A and B are shown apart, each in its own frame.
Chain A
């Protein structure tokens, strides 16, 4: 069958060809990466659900283990860094390099602050006896779930900071186009999105 006949038989946007999603290949690839990375976190959260529901021992009471105001502060920092990132992307699209750079730097500061808070939280819990296989508060599997979930998320924040720093340097040098900032932004918002799930399912439920 001729290509154009085939495309005509499909609804607009589903016909394949050069740009089936109406997006550049870079953006399409970034979305494919985000979906696969999202599936990784979906598996990790399912593993956490399994550990928690199959545990014979009571799951630790969150108020005994965490400082919820501190976790709320971490959430506030990450949400704010997403807003600054969005502003940087918007500014880059409008060709306002100065504003884009300023908000990229603010986003990096937010990410670094979040990572600092996470390092403090890990240190605090380890000092109080949290280990991968044991802890003083309840089900021994709690440590595995906590360190693996927050560790994977923290490693994403760290790699996001590397990407943002490179993007900021290249923006300052006038080498990054708006699309480069947008790609970095997609990744950063994904990191924020994953935290929404970890925050709710691990810290609140």
Chain B
């Protein structure tokens, strides 16, 4: 890797990555101005979030230069766990909200003791 870096300017990859990350961040901040439907806006943001994460993992953390099994274990492990967590939490949180929004029975009037 060091030889490749020397051949192409030692630190170029970090500053190119920095530039791309900044452009993506600005695009994410500007996305709201286009008044997209919320579902498209959220999808757009999530996709670019994953692109940024991949660039940081690959170029800054050098995962693209490591053996593929290390990169696979890191990326798949984190991604699959997160997807499982979110996919269980989403229906549960919606059902909790539905239960809490049901009208609550009025408390029984206190008994009057003579």
Which A residues are within 8 Å of any B CB, using their own CB? 13-14, 20-23, 28, 31, 34-35, 38-39, 42-43, 45-46, 49-50, 52-56, 68, 72, 75-76, 79-80, 82-83, 85-87, 90-91, 93-94, 185-186, 189-190, 192-193, 196-197, 200-201, 204-205
Contacts and interface: CB of A to CB of B under 8 A. Distances in A.
B85 A42 contact: yes
Residue of A72, A201, A204, A205 with highest tally of chain B CB at under 10 A: A204
A31 B38 CA distance: 36
Interface residues of B, number: 50
Contacts of B101: 56
A54 B96 contact: yes
Nearest to B11: A87
Contacts of B28: 200, 204
Nearest to B97: A54
A181 B8 CA distance: 22
A79 B18 contact: yes
Interface in B2-37: 2, 5-6, 10-11, 13-15, 17-18, 21-22, 25, 28-29
Interface string B43-81: 001101100110011011100001111100110011001
B89 to A, nearest CB: 5
Contact of B49 (A34, A55, A197): A197
A39 B77 CA distance: 9
B66 A82 contact: no
A72 B61 CA distance: 23
A68 B32 CA distance: 12
Residue of A42, A91, A196 with highest tally of chain B CB at under 10 A: A196
Given A39-B77, A54-B93, A200-B28, 13 more contacts: A13-B69, A14-B69, A35-B74, A35-B77, A38-B78, A43-B85, A53-B90, A54-B94, A54-B96, A79-B22, A90-B10, A185-B61, A193-B57
A111 B8 CA distance: 28
